[in-house]
Amino acid sequence: THMEQQELVAALRRVVADGGWQRVGRTADFQSTCTKLFSEDGQHLVLIRTGEDSFRAMDSSCPHEGGPLELGDIEDLGDGRLVLLCPWHHFDFCVQTGSSSTGLQNQVYEVRVVQGDVYVNTPNQLSLSPDAEPDTAGPGESSPDVAEICPSEDTLSFWATKILRTPDPTEKVRLTLEVQDKWRSGQIKEVGRAAPPAQPSRRDDLTVLQPGRIKRGKGGTQASRVALLHSLANIEQWAIDLSWDVIARFSGFSLSSGEPLPRQFFSDFVKVAGDEAKHYDLLERRITELGSFFGALPVHNGLWQSATDTSHDLLARLAIVHMVHEARGLDVHPQTLSRFAAQGDRDSVEVLEIIYRDEITHVAAGLRWFTHICSQEGRDCLSTFHELVKQHFKGYLKPPFNTEGRRTAGMTEEWYVPLVKPSS
Same domain, residue pair 67 and 173: no
User: What CATH number does residue 285 fall under?
Assistant: 1.20.1260.10
Taking a C-beta distance cutoff of 8 angstroms, is the pair 16, 119 a contact?
Answer: yes
Same domain, residue pair 37 and 114: yes
Between CA 348 and CA 351 the distance in angstroms is 5
Predicted confidence at residue 246, as pLDDT, reads 97
Same domain, residue pair 169 and 122: no
For the chain, how many residues are written? 424
Residue 136 counted as domain residue:
no
**What is the distance of C-alpha 273 from the center of its chain?**
19
As beta bridge partners, residue 47 has 35, 57
Same domain, residue pair 113 and 64: yes
Residue 140 counted as domain residue:
no
Between CA 407 and CA 6 the distance in angstroms is 56
Same domain, residue pair 187 and 71: no
- Crossing angle of the two packed helices 156-164 and 169-185, in degrees rounded to 10: 170
State which residues form the domain around 405: 156-419
Residue 63 counted as domain residue:
yes
- Using alpha carbons, select from 250, 244, 238, 241 the residue that is nearest to residue 144: 250
Same domain, residue pair 120 and 163: no
Taking a C-beta distance cutoff of 8 angstroms, is the pair 294, 284 a contact?
Answer: yes
Same domain, residue pair 55 and 192: no
Same domain, residue pair 171 and 112: no
Residue 147 counted as domain residue:
no
- What lies within 8 Å, CB to CB, of 275 at 6+ separation is 358, 361, 362
- What lies within 8 Å, CB to CB, of 187 at 6+ separation is 181
Between CA 204 and CA 215 the distance in angstroms is 21
Phi, psi of 22 (to 5 degrees): -145, 145
Residue 150 counted as domain residue:
no
Same domain, residue pair 225 and 93: no
Residue 143 counted as domain residue:
no
Same domain, residue pair 359 and 251: yes
Structural domains in the chain (count): 2
Same domain, residue pair 319 and 204: yes
Predicted confidence at residue 102, as pLDDT, reads 83
Domain end, chosen from 106, 127, 148, is at 127
- Could you read off the pLDDT tens digit of each residue along the chain, which spans 424 residues? 666 666 666 666 665 555 678 889 888 888 889 999 988 878 899 999 998 889 999 999 988 878 889 988 898 887 778 999 988 888 899 999 999 988 888 989 999 988 888 999 888 888 888 753 333 333 333 333 323 344 567 899 999 999 999 999 999 999 999 999 999 999 999 999 888 888 999 988 888 776 655 554 333 378 889 999 999 999 999 999 999 999 999 998 988 888 999 999 999 999 999 999 999 999 999 999 999 999 999 888 877 888 998 998 999 999 999 999 999 999 999 989 998 998 899 999 999 999 999 999 999 999 999 999 999 999 999 999 999 999 999 889 999 999 999 999 999 999 999 999 887 5
Same domain, residue pair 172 and 93: no
Residue 192 counted as domain residue:
yes
Residue 141 counted as domain residue:
no
User: What CATH number does residue 74 fall under?
Assistant: 2.102.10.10
Using H for helix, E for strand and C for coil, what is the string for 342-355?
HCCCHHHHHHHHHH
Between CA 226 and CA 220 the distance in angstroms is 10
